[in-house]
Structure 1
Amino acid sequence: MSLPLPDSSPAAAPGCAETVWVVPLHEHSWYDHVRLKRVFVTDGTRHQVVLVDLRKLLVCADRDNTDYVLRPVADWHAGKVRGIREFLDPDNPRIAQMPYVTISTRRGPGLLGWLGVEREGVVAFRNGQHRARYLADAGARWCPVEVHEREATLLRELCGAADDARTAIGITQTGGDGGSV
């Protein structure tokens, strides 16, 4: 599912207003939501924000064979967990960028894959893999991610969020200082 994207270029609003997505966390004792902003905000960007089902996204990410698939959050050292928790804290004046991914397909396992009938998605994180895994562990079901426009349709097909996710994820505008307007 693509989200309606207001023009988020710096020239679009006074004070460099930007769009911020508010992602609810259902199993997190430290705070109940996080704020995320776009990676690419300049005029003419060829990237889109897609609301994804985090579980589906991480299944596809676990198929990445580039040697950079993170272990589950429970296996991270305490300093890494504390660092990402503090980084994503909604009281932090700095708003974290949403994950930025690429997606492709490859032959699925088994005979149908060998025959080229079955394909499976493979997600590679360009940025934000720790964020995505931490959010999923904290109970987030959906998350906005940024992807190049030529891959957005495939990402929606393979990892897209359910229709009710659109009402669960809040979208707000902030001023240039990082605070809400």
Structure 2
Amino acid sequence: MHHHPWYDHVCLQRVFDADGTRHQVVLVDVRKLLACADRDNTDYVLKPVAEWHSGKVRGIREFLDPENPRIPQMPYVTISTRRAPGLLGWLGLEREGVVAFRNGQHRARYLADAGARWFPVEVHEREAALLREICGAADDARTALRPTTLTSEGGD
């Protein structure tokens, strides 16, 4: 987030971090992800950040602040496909991705508005390949990320 005046990065943790949860982390292109999310017809597509009330914007900004001792979870999504509009879609030859947020839509939209180009999301393993295909970040995005591990203080 090179142009965000409050901080230049965020820290996100996995939603499902226990072994055997059958979820994967996928690094997504934020524009592709939100284009697919805008196709969701569940009536829970948020307005642009510029239309949020100032308290909501401030709350999300403070929640995502890397200095916040509580590390937020990464967005959790599902993805499916449907026929694309137009003749090719009607003929069943063209499909488009549809993303639904299970959690983290405010985080995702705020990060996009703040200038993030990619970030990790969590998805069930059976949908991970489709999410990578439709919304996956470019390979160079991986070099910009700095994975960290949480350490407990005062360990054994």
CA offsets 1:82-141 (integer angstroms, 9 cap, x no match): 000000000000000000000000000001100000000000000000000000111110
Aligned to 2:74: 98
Percent of aligned pairs sharing the same letter: 82
Aligned length: 153
Distance 1:176 1:145 in 2: 24
Compare the two structures and name the one with the higher strand fraction.
Answer: 1
Aligned to 2:125: 149
Distance 1:176 1:35 in 2: 17
Alignment of 1:26-175 (within 5 A): 26-175=2-151
Equivalent position SS for 1:93: coil
Equivalent position SS for 1:170: coil
- Runs (4+) of structure 1 exceeding 2 A deviation are none
Distance 1:67 1:127 in 2: 15
Equivalent position SS for 1:124: strand
Unpaired runs of at least 5, structure 2: none
Aligned to 1:7: none
Distance 1:167 1:34 in 2: 16
Give the deviation of 1:32 after TM superposition.
Answer: 0.8
Give the deviation of 1:176 after TM superposition.
Answer: 3.5
Q: Please, what TM-score do these two structures have when normalized by structure 1?
A: 0.83
Unpaired runs of at least 5, structure 1: 1-24
- Matched residue type, 2:70: R
What is the aligned-residue RMSD (CA, Å)?
A: 0.7
Equivalent position SS for 1:36: coil
